[in-house]
Structure 1
Amino acid sequence: MQPPVDPAYASAFGRPDGVDTAFAARDVPVPPVESAPPPPESLVTAFGRQGSQELLQRPPQPVSDPDPDIDPVFWGDKPAGDPWRDPASGAVIGPPAVGEDPPGESEAKPAPGPQLSVPELIFGRRVKPAALTLLVVVALLVGAAGGLVGWLIGRAGNPLTDSTVTLAEIEQGKERPAGSISDIAKRVTPSVVSIEFKGTNVAGVGSGVVIEAGGYILTNDHVVAPAAQDSSAKLSAVFTDGTRAQARVVGRDPKTDLAVIKVEVTNPTVLQFGNSDELQVGDSVIAIGSPLQLSNTVTEGIVSALHRPVTAAGENGGPQVTYDAIQTDAAINPGNSGGALVDSRGALVGINSSIRTETGGSVGLGFAISGKQARKISQELIRSGQVKHADMNVNVKSVSAETSEGAQVQNVPAGGAAAAAGIQEGDVITKVGDRMVRNAAELVVAVREHEIGQTVQVVLARQGRELKLDVTLKSD
């Protein structure tokens, strides 16, 4: 059953009169539709289109040269946001759906797509997990086999990596603190020179020590004696930096085997004397010289004994050499003669002079003239060119008995110090001053420790009795 129709709707939406179908016949007149009355003039002026016959309204566009006589619309030069501002406008053409971004706004970045997995990246396609696991296992086996082969080859090529060998640990850095052998050698070596002489019939090499800034060099007498006795020989000193300087003999003392030569050099390195009386057995000492023509050689040892009297034959029939020696086990060989023996501070405490050996080489029995005696004699040689020693004017030989030992008097020259004091032939001298006398060489050394004209007490044995005599020493 058709519901009833509202007469108002039927009037508005019903078929025109005379039309029975959905479409009106062409020959059926259609009554005109009454349009709305025109809007008032005020509304047209306010909301109507200005100078345009378009049916659709467009958003206002920027005007480059606006007419000053026309008032600007209220929205300015911005697109319209309200399409109903003009009641007569059925629609408005808005801005394009896609256009340039407003200034200051960046283009939106697309969201990242799905990423490839590791197997897809390596193989270019998906791989079954079982196949991938098998591939990893094979790679591990190949790597392990290669490492094992390399380890075996390394062990075979280097015996030090054998498991039966244990390497000693070493420190990463080498330290040379002050007072070490290397530190002392670095400071002292520039003051030790090689002494060379060459003549028609003589040639040789020894050592020397610079002891004064004027170019004075202390050495052994037996080093310079051949050059001093041969007028054709030229004497020279060679420094550690290679500088070679002609040398001349300033003074010699054959009795103590010391001599001083002089060279003309500027700003030489001078070695300072130390106090040899402070040495004790076991102290470290360093010998520096040119053994076997090997210059700048440094050897190290200890003080083996002190106040060891040493006697040697003189050069070419000269007087017998006797001196109070420091015994050391530092390696000393021919060519070390005249070189320096320094203590742990780098001070000069001796002049290396001789060795005792049955093979001709060093066997750890080296002897150096004490620094105290060397300093005294060198100063006298520089001052006057010669040295005089205190002497008792007596000839003795070494003797020993079950209860004592000493120097037995062989003869007493008339006019000498011994004769004046009443010493007789056959007396055995056992002490001079504070020093014990155990042999003939020690008597000479004990007497030379004193000054000429000094009176010393001498203890001797005569026919089983001990006597004490005061002897005033004279010059030799």
Structure 2
Amino acid sequence: MSEQSPTPEIPADQRIGPRPLHRPSVDPSESAVFGRPEGVEGAFAGGTAPRLNQLRQAPPTPEALGSAFGRPDGARETLQRPPGAGHPDDGEAGPVWSADRNPWRDPGAGAVIGPPALDVADEADDKKSVGRGQLLSLPDVLFGRRVKPMALAVLGVVALLVGAAGGVGGWLLARGGDSLTSDVTLAETNPGKERPPGSVADIAARVRPAVVSIEVKLAQGGGGFGSGVVIDGSGYIATNWHVVTLEGRADETAQISALFTDGTRAKARVVGTDPKTDLAVIKVDVDNPTVLAFGNSDELQVGDAVIAIGSPLGLTDTVTEGIVSAMNRPVVAGGDNGQEPITYDAIQTDAAVNQGNSGGPLVDSTGALVGINSAIRSSAGNTGSVGLGFAIPSNDARRITEALIRDGRVAHADLGANVRSVSADTAEGAQVVNVADGGAAQRAGIIEGDVIRKVGDRQVRTAAELTVAVRTHTPGATVPVVLARQGQELTIQVTLGSD
């Protein structure tokens, strides 16, 4: 390896001098605030430098703090020394500090951090040696034992009296602030309302379980609803023909169900129908149904109280009250689409009856069935109840429903003549338009143009009255018929036929 040649010395005149020191100018205002005081040359003031501020002496230590945190009496050291270390003036050498004990401790420091003042063992000994102090009572804490117990009790009583007086005053002020409020005892009736036997509530409670709501659903969609009444324990229900057949639109595929007041729903089957009197019977399979007994409709008089129960407008279990407005009121309904009109001798009532009441019962003041609600009469543009309701008398309904249950059909007496209503000075009644061949009228000698004025004991003033008067008799019965012919009144015996 070859030796390196020495670095040649650079002449002094070729050396680069130090960078010139840049000293910016000092703002006089900043120099006055942050500069050295006058007369101070270095960074630290010398012993001869004038003191700018005289330090204030600390206030004397409070006696309580001095006794708690001051040095014990006779103590000379200013700093606490480690436990077990003697005082230098006593000739006892303190512990020698070495880096082995704490390598991070500066040996030249003026103070050292010693172990805790007391260890666990010493603390336990101190706790054993020091007894539990006396506990302070509430008066001691609040009043520093400067209040007598009697005075404290009196003070409590006074506080209670002041609070009670304030509460009473506030209540009186609030009460007098509003003149609309005051203490009042409202009148009170007897706990239970008296419902004597025969009241509407008593009758309704006994009759309602026997009334059902009837729903009809067509296979092709749509349907209708009405009412019915249980008339036999085997599950037979009386209702209207137009309810179960939807006025002839329903066939054998229609589904009929009966809904009882207790929520029981049962499927119903049609037993028989009578479109001429708007009556029908259906049957449901239920256990021990409530049955409504038939009453005697012939005993009714105008003004008698009656109650209608049914499902008007789908509102099931509805009760309305009224009176008998008229008896033996001939009603003609239907007759559309080539069907024979419905004609029956009706009970007129002002009890509220609406669509859906059809087929439901009309009962008297004893709760007996006196009619089957069937129709209403309303004013133009009004389909609701105007107090003109009509029911099929129970005597006619009983006879027809018994025949339907027994035979599935019913036969009515027939005169065998077509008539029209007439009213003139000479005659008023049902005038014969034509006579059926072989019918009862032809066999009795009734001819075209005769005006029938009476059948049996029933007066005839219209064609409808003639129909209902004939149907009050059974087929084959012979009844006297009063008629007017060419200004003369004749009475002939007619043996009625069957339809």
TM bracket (short chain): 0.5 to 0.7
Partner residue of 1:237? 258
Structure 2 unaligned regions, length at least 5 = 1-152, 155-164
For residues 270 and 179 of structure 2, the distance between their equivalents in structure 1, rounded to whole angstroms, comes to: 65
**Displacement, 1:170?**
5.6
Cα deviation code 1:49-75 (max 9, x no counterpart): xxxxxxxxxxxxxxxxxxxxxxxxxxx
Question: Are residues 315 and 208 of structure 1, via their aligned partners in 2, closer, same or farther at CA, if it must alter by over 3 Å?
Answer: farther
Equivalent residue for 2:268, pick from 247, 264, 277 = 247
| Alignment coverage as a number of residue pairs | 338
Separation (CA, whole Å) in 2 of partners of 1:366 and 1:153: 55
Distance change (3 Å), C-alpha of 1:377 and 1:281: same
Q: What stretches of structure 1 move > 4 A for 4+ residues in a row?
A: 142-149, 167-172
The answer on whether the counterparts of 1:355 and 1:362 sit within 8 Å (CA) in structure 2 is yes
Distance 1:424 1:345, change over 3 A: same
Letter in 2 for 1:456: V
Q: How far is 1:471 from its partner? A: 0.5
RMSD of equivalent CA atoms: 2.9
What does residue 346 of structure 2 align with? 325
Is 1:209 equivalent to 2:234 in the alignment?
no
CA distance in structure 2 between the aligned counterparts of 1:228 and 1:214, rounded to whole angstroms:
28
Is the CA contact (8 Å cut-off) linking 2:427 and 2:451 kept in structure 1?
Answer: no
Which letter maps to 2:305?
A: S
Which among 382, 385, 401 is matched to residue 405 of structure 2? 382
C-alpha contact 1:252 1:381 (8 A) present in aligned 2: yes
Asked whether the 8 Å contact 2:229–2:361 carries over to 1, the reply is: yes
- Asked if 1:448 is matched to 2:471, the reply is yes
Pairing 1:394-473 to 2, within 5 Å after superposition:
394-402=417-425, 404-473=427-496
2:201 to 182, 195, 218: 182
Supply the AA of the counterpart residue of 1:177.
P
Is the Cα–Cα contact under 8 Å of residues 222 and 315 in structure 1 kept in the other structure? no
Structure 2 CA distance for aligned equivalents of residues 284 and 316 of structure 1: 38
1:107-160 CA-partner distances (Å, limit 9, x unpaired): xxxxxxxxxxxxxxxx98xxxxxxxxxxxxxx9xx98996686267262699xx
1:372 and 2:372 correspond: no
Partner residue of 1:300 out of 303, 311, 321: 321
SS of 1:155's partner is coil
* Gapped regions of structure 1 (runs ≥ 5): 1-122, 125-138, 162-166
SS at match of 1:460: strand
Distance in 2 between residues matched to 1:440 and 1:301, nearest whole Å? 29
User: Which of residues 231, 246, 263 is equivalent to 2:284?
Assistant: 263
> Shift of the alpha carbon at 1:429?
0.8
Residues 175 and 182 of structure 2 are in contact (CA less than 8 Å); yes or no, is this contact kept in structure 1? no
- State how far apart, in whole Å, the 2-side matches of 1:233 and 1:322 are: 26
- Cα distance in structure 2, aligned partners of 1:457 and 1:168: 68
The answer to whether the aligner puts 1:287 opposite 2:308 as a matched pair is yes
Q: Measure, in 2, the Cα distance between the counterparts of 1:463 and 1:191.
A: 54
1:367 maps to amino acid: F
Map of 1:343 onto structure 2: 364
Counterparts of 1:183-198 in structure 2, within 5 Å, are: 183-198=202-217
| Per-residue Cα deviation, 1:151-207 (whole angstroms, up to 9, x for no partner) | 67262699xx9xxxxx99966541111111111111000000011011223311110
Instruction: Say if 2:426 and 2:487, in contact at 8 Å, map to a contact too.
Output: no
In structure 1, the partner of 2:132 is none
Residue pairs, 1:4-153, within 5 angstroms: 150=175, 153=178
Alpha-carbon distance in structure 1 between the residues aligned to 2:466 and 2:176: 74
- Taking the aligned partners of 1:152 and 1:469, their CA distance within structure 2 comes to 93
Pairwise CA distance, 1:229:
3.1
Q: Distance in 1 between matches of 2:337 and 2:282?
A: 20
Deviation at 1:253, TM superposition (A): 0.3
Alignment-mate amino acid for residue 245 of structure 2: A
Partners of 2:460 and 2:296 lie apart in 1 by 23
Of 169-178 and 355-364, deviating more is 169-178
Return closer, same or farther for 1:148/1:294 CA change in 2, 3 Å cut-off. same
Identity score, percent: 66
Q: Distance in 1 between the 2:347 and 2:272 partners?
A: 23
Kept in 2: contact 1:202–1:233 (CA 8 A): no
**Which amino acid in the other structure matches residue 494 of structure 2?**
V
Alpha-carbon distance in 1 for matches of 2:454, 2:472: 13
Whether the 8 Å contact between 1:355 and 1:367 is mirrored in structure 2 is yes
Secondary structure of 1:317's match? coil
- Give the counterpart of 2:239 among 192, 211, 219: 219
Aligned to 2:9: none
1:435 corresponds to which letter in structure 2?
R
For residue 205 of structure 2, what is the amino acid of its counterpart?
K
> Does structure 2 retain, via aligned residues, the 8 Å contact 1:228–1:249?
no
Residue of structure 2 aligned with 1:275, choices 296, 315, 319: 296
For residues 242 and 211 of structure 1, the distance between their equivalents in structure 2, rounded to whole angstroms, comes to 19
Partner SS state of residue 424, structure 1: coil
SS in 2 for 1:450: coil
1:150 partner letter: R
Q: CA separation in 2, counterparts of 1:406 and 1:239?
A: 45
The whole-number CA distance in structure 2 between the counterparts of 1:196 and 1:172 is 40
How far off is 1:458 after superposition? 0.6
* Contact 1:254–1:314 (CA under 8 A) maintained in structure 2: no
Q: What is the DSSP-based 3-state SS (H/G/I as helix, E as strand, rest coil) of the residue aligned with 1:451?
A: coil
Residue in structure 2 matched with residue 102 of structure 1 by the alignment: none
Over residues 219-275 of structure 1, what are the superposed CA-to-partner deviations in whole Å (9 max), with x where a residue is unaligned?
000001138833442111111111111111000000000000011111000000000
Q: Deviations over 1:383-419 (max 9, x none)?
A: 0000000011010011112465211111111211111
Opposite residue 174 of structure 1, the aligned amino acid is K
